Amino acid sequence: MAAASIKTPASQPYDDEGSKALKKKNELAKKAELLRDIQKLNVQIQAMEREKQTHIFSRRSDFRSDFSCLEEEEAKMLDERRTEQIRVKQELKKISHMVKRFHHELRDVKPTPEFVEKLKSIMEEIESAINSFKQQQHLKYEEFLTSEKILSQEIQQLEIKFENWSQRSKQDGAPAKSLLVKPLASTRDVTKDLPPEVAAFDKFVQQSGGHRGGWDEYDHGTFMKFRNMYKGRIVFLDYVKQRLPTHTETEIREHEAWYQEYLFLNENKKCAIKKWRERKEEEKEDAITQVQDELEAEKQKISEQQDLADELMREKAARAKQINAWRVQKELERAMQEEKKARDELEKKKRQELQRKKQLETRKVVEEFRQQRKLEEDVMEMVEEERKRADEERRREITAKEIGRFHVRDMQRLNEKFEKEREKEEMKKHKERQLEALKSQVQVQVARDPSRLLQPTSGWKERLKDKTPSGGGRVIHMPHRAIPSWRQK
């Protein structure tokens, strides 16, 4: 339990860091996706700008006078957009300056009521500026949405007119049949009518990873920089390989082959689009001539069709109003659900915080108990060691006394042993002296008789005597082995 109490608080910062890193990673992914969407929109805007300059605002166009009002309106809207952009930048700069001022004030914090009031006024000023900016942007967005709805309705009216013209052409004869069977421009795939070179180029770009061949913007930009510097000569690959260590030489050569094919297909696309535009211009002139012939006959039915279109517009407006009311109701329900969810989340967080506090208190109590127990165990160990040390000292004293006593006893025994050995030695010497004295007193003179060597000895003579038993009669007692007591019964 003590190990768990030590490990849990230490693991908390790592969990927080992991969640922060995951959140940051998700934000970066969203940001990258948003940048990609913006880049796609910019490409589409540039394509539309080129189409506009080529077909609508071209000086060689016969209808330039008809589109001059559109050109003036576009210039006016561009000026308004630049003015709005400058205003938004000024507002953001003002808010940024106020925030920096607030951060500067926080560097030197003073615990005084005047300082707190000053910070509060700065915060209120920042909040007011942000709310004002958001309100202005909201009004602008509402205005843009209203304009978008009006333009959408006008486009729908024009599409209805075009459809009516197609129906009129179908009724007049077969030459206008092709105009009727074609879908509206808003629902038709424009690339379907383009030359096969354009479709081949688009398919190649999609299958090979986009206009950079699957490489990121920096690597492809470096590749193009050196390729343009050396005007496409193969020697530039050595320099690109040094500047792009993340790509092998094979990958760079493959990218060069891809880019050559990309240029070839792009050039074919440009030539095909040029021819296609020339053909479309001719078809457009033919169609305009045909429409001008049909306009006279169409004027009589315009009023009826206009009434029908107005009725459809009124119906669409009523449906749009109902849809807006339904959307408002759904938004209110969604807001109530989100508010309820926020309250539930807040209560859940409060419960989790309370539970975490209880766990911390329990861990603190357990830690104190563990420390107290460890302290008691340390004291007991010290007491036990002191007792063992005293016993060891007492045993050493007793052992020293016993060793001294045993040493004295051994010395006494050793002395007694030496004394006994000395007495034995003296007695032995005394006996030897007595024996020598007796030997000196008794002198035995025996003559040498070799014949005695072959004569029987006294013992042998005794053995040659009569061997009959000296006793006789009946044997009274014969010794036997003892009988055990368990067999005596």
Q: Where on the phi/psi map is residue 194: left (φ > 0), alpha (ψ -120 to 50), or beta?
A: beta
Q: Give the per-residue pLDDT at 13.
A: 46
Residue 373 covered by a domain: no
Integer Rg of the chain from CA: 62
Residue 377 covered by a domain: no
Q: Give the per-residue pLDDT at 179.
A: 38
Q: Give the per-residue pLDDT at 178.
A: 41
Q: Which class for 219: exposed (0-12), middle (13-18), buried (19 or more C-beta within 10 A)?
A: buried
Residue 128 covered by a domain: yes
Runs of H (alpha helix) within 208-248: 217-229, 236-243
Q: Give the per-residue pLDDT at 301.
A: 67
User: CA-to-CA distance for 194 and 386, rounded, in angstroms?
Assistant: 102
Q: Give the per-residue pLDDT at 48.
A: 82
Q: Give the per-residue pLDDT at 184.
A: 39
Q: Identify the CA nearest to 215 among candidates 173, 187, 246.
A: 246
Q: Which residues of the chain have pLDDT under 70?
A: 1-18, 55, 57-66, 109, 168-195, 232, 284, 287-303, 305-306, 442-446, 466-480, 488-489
Q: Give the per-residue pLDDT at 174.
A: 45
Structure tokens at 342: 């926020």
Q: Give the per-residue pLDDT at 180.
A: 39
Residue 372 covered by a domain: no
Q: Give the per-residue pLDDT at 294.
A: 65
Residue 215 covered by a domain: no
Tell me how many domains the chain contains.
1
Apex 423 CA angle, 417 and 428, nearest 5:
125
Q: Give the per-residue pLDDT at 310.
A: 76
The pTM of this model reads 0.29
Q: Give the per-residue pLDDT at 340.
A: 85
Q: Give the per-residue pLDDT at 177.
A: 39
Q: Identify the CA nearest to 253 among candidates 262, 245, 241, 267.
A: 241
Q: Give the per-residue pLDDT at 1.
A: 38
91, 133 Cβ separation under 8 angstroms: yes
Q: Give the per-residue pLDDT at 87.
A: 87
3-state secondary structure at position 42: helix
Residue 202 covered by a domain: no
User: CA-to-CA distance for 97 and 251, rounded, in angstroms?
Assistant: 49
Residue 31 covered by a domain: no
Structure tokens at 109: 């914090």
Residue 481 covered by a domain: no
Q: Identify the CA nearest to 204 among candidates 123, 253, 265.
A: 265
Domain that holds residue 151: 86-182
Q: Identify the CA nearest to 353 among candidates 79, 421, 300, 361.
A: 361
